[in-house]
Structure 1
Amino acid sequence: MNEDGNYKTFVALFENDVVGFVTIVQALSVGVAIGYLHIQALAVKKEFQHHGVGTKLLRHTENYAKELGISSIILCSGFKRTDAHAFYEHNGYDKDSYCFDKIINLD
Structure 2
Amino acid sequence: MSTVKIVSLVTPDQWREAYPVMKHLRTHLDEDAFLTLVEQAQENDHYQLAALYYEEEVVAVIGYMPMVTLYNGRFIWVCDLVTKPEVRSQGFGEQLLSHVEQWAKEQGFNKISLSSGLQRVDAHRFYEKKMDYRKVSYVFLKDL
Per the normalisation by structure 1, the TM-score is 0.88
* Corresponding residue for residue 85 of structure 1: 124
* Corresponding residue for residue 115 of structure 2: 76
User: In 2, are the aligned partners of 1:77 and 1:85 still within 8 Å (CA)?
Assistant: yes
Q: Which amino acid aligns with 1:46?
A: P
**How many residue pairs are counted as aligned between the two chains?**
102
Q: CA deviation at 1:15?
A: 1.8
Please give the residue correspondences for 1:1-107 in structure 2 after superposition, counting only pairs within 5 Å.
1=39, 2-3=42-43, 6-30=46-70, 32=73, 35-90=74-129, 91-104=131-144
Q: Alignment RMSD, CA only?
A: 1.5
Change (3 A) 1:79 1:4: closer
Gaps of 5+ in 1: none
User: In 2, are the aligned partners of 1:7 and 1:26 still within 8 Å (CA)?
Assistant: yes
Aligned partners of 1:45, 1:72: CA distance in 2, in Å? Answer: 27
**The structure with more helix, counted as a fraction of residues:** 2
Q: CA deviation at 1:59?
A: 0.3
Per the normalisation by structure 2, the TM-score is 0.67
**Identical aligned residues as a percent:** 34
Aligned partners of 2:82, 2:119: CA distance in 1, in Å? Answer: 16
Q: CA deviation at 1:5?
A: 6.7
- Secondary structure of the corresponding residue to residue 61 of structure 1: helix
- Secondary structure of the corresponding residue to residue 43 of structure 2: coil
Q: CA deviation at 1:30?
A: 2.4
Aligned partners of 1:4, 1:101: CA distance in 2, in Å? Answer: 21
Per-residue Cα deviation, 1:40-66 (whole angstroms, up to 9, x for no partner):
000001121110000001100100100
Gaps of 5+ in 2: 1-38
Q: CA deviation at 1:4?
A: 5.8
